[in-house]
Amino acid sequence: MKLKFTKMHGAGNDFVVIDATAQEIAFTPAQWQRLADRRFGVGADQMLVVEKAQTPGIDFRYRIYNSDGGEVEQCGNGARAFVRYVTEKGLTAKRAIRVETLSGVIEPRMEDDGGITVDMGAPVLEAARVPFDASGLQGQPQNDDTLWPLDVNGHTVLVSAVSMGNPHAVQLVDDVDAAPVLQDGPAIEHHPRFPKRVNAGFMQVVDRHAIRLRVFERSAGETLACGTGACAAVVAGIRRGLLASPVRVGTRGGELSIAWAGGNAPVLLTGPAVTVFDGEIEL
Ligand SMILES: N[C@H](CCC[C@H](N)C(=O)O)C(=O)O
């Protein structure tokens, strides 16, 4: 079949976006992997599928597939690309839209200055709901957060377990450029205490309103930016008393900004979303 798509990125986290509002899209994992392949296909960290909403009061449904073809619950950078896509393609005239995802409703909004902010909902911090299996473990309280010791490649790392709809394990490092992201990332991603696997964040605190972050993403490897990872890192840093909202997040692909008032308040993610090109592929 000939498939029309749009290539986009949010701070270098790149996507193939597909309009499924007028056509049913149901690809096999192998077809998703082919689309994501940077040599045999288009190339992307994730694929985003735009669908009509099933629920009254909701504007769209948004499905996310990692480059391994697995469907996941949430994607923060993708949500910004999503709202730019439906706006540019004339699928909506609204500036703020309500979008149903596997993990709940998010609300991306086009700002007057062209920036995009997404209400990503409240973080989930209860270990069992991340999900993180804390059985038999002695957590180490740090302010409002609990750090969990993980045995990774023969050494122990202390992680915060946070869900933004998708699971994150965030650790503090002195220098993200020197952090063992590619060595420890896979071991954390597949750690048995994360039954749905996990996105592994490596956060360097610059000051109370700025961090640098690298994320080894579940099923995608290290990406240039991870929106939900930025949300999870800032939530963990605020709960540990290291950060204060808003926080600028420096990633290898660009800068994101996160605001969170604590507790059950929503996490607000602001950042770029760029359309690179429209294309067509025989799939
Ligand atoms: N790899 C992630 C999904 C994409 C999240 C990331 N691209 C973002 O911007 O939030 C996961 O498996 O949970």
Taking only the tens place, the pLDDT of each residue in 112-155 is 888 899 999 999 999 999 999 999 999 999 999 999 999 999 99
Distance 85 CA to ligand 1 centre (A): 18
pLDDT at res. 52 = 94
pLDDT at 54 over 90: no
Closest-lying ligand 1 atom to the alpha carbon of residue 78: 9
pLDDT at res. 112 = 86
Q: With cut-offs at 50, 70 and 90, classify the pLDDT of residue 1.
A: confident
pLDDT at 83 over 90: yes
pLDDT at res. 221 = 97
Mutate to test the pocket of ligand 1, among 218, 222, 224, 228 (most ligand atoms within 8 A of CB): 228
Closest-lying ligand 1 atom to the alpha carbon of residue 164: 10
pLDDT at 162 over 90: yes
* Protein residues whose CB sits closer than 6 Å to any atom of ligand 1: 13, 45-46, 66, 72, 75-78, 166, 199, 217-220, 223, 226-228
pLDDT at res. 114 = 81
3-state secondary structure the chain: CEEEEEEEEECCEEEEEEECCCCCCCCCHHHHHHHHCCCCCCCCCEEEEEEECCCCCCCEEEEEEECCCCEECCCHHHHHHHHHHHHHCCCCCCCECCEEECCEEEEEEECCCCCEEEECCCCECCHHHCCCCCCCCCCEEECCEEEEEEEECCEEEEEEEEECCCEEEEEECCCHHHCCHHHHHHHHHCCCCCCCCCEEEEEEEEECCEEEEEEEECCCEEECCCHHHHHHHHHHHHHCCCCCCCEEEEECCEEEEEECCCCCCCCEEEECCEEEEEEEEEC
Distance 262 CA to ligand 1 centre (A): 22
Options 226, 235, 249, 267, the catalytic residue: 226
Closest-lying ligand 1 atom to the alpha carbon of residue 79: 9
pLDDT tens string 9-40: 999 999 999 999 988 889 999 999 999 999 99
Distance 226 CA to ligand 1 centre (A): 6
> Average pLDDT, stretch 195-209?
98
> Average pLDDT, stretch 57-82?
96
Q: Is 76 annotated as a binding residue?
A: yes
> Residue with the nearest Cα to atom 4 of ligand 1?
75
Q: Is position 231 annotated as part of the catalytic site? A: no
Give percent of the chain with pLDDT exceeding 70.
100
Q: With cut-offs at 50, 70 and 90, classify the pLDDT of residue 170.
A: very high
pLDDT at res. 155 = 97
Predicted ipTM > 0.90: yes
pTM higher than the cut 0.90: yes
Distance 165 CA to ligand 1 centre (A): 10
* Domains defined along the chain, listed by start: 2-115+272-282 (3.10.310.10), 124-265 (3.10.310.10)
pLDDT at res. 23 = 86
Q: Is 217 annotated as a binding residue?
A: yes
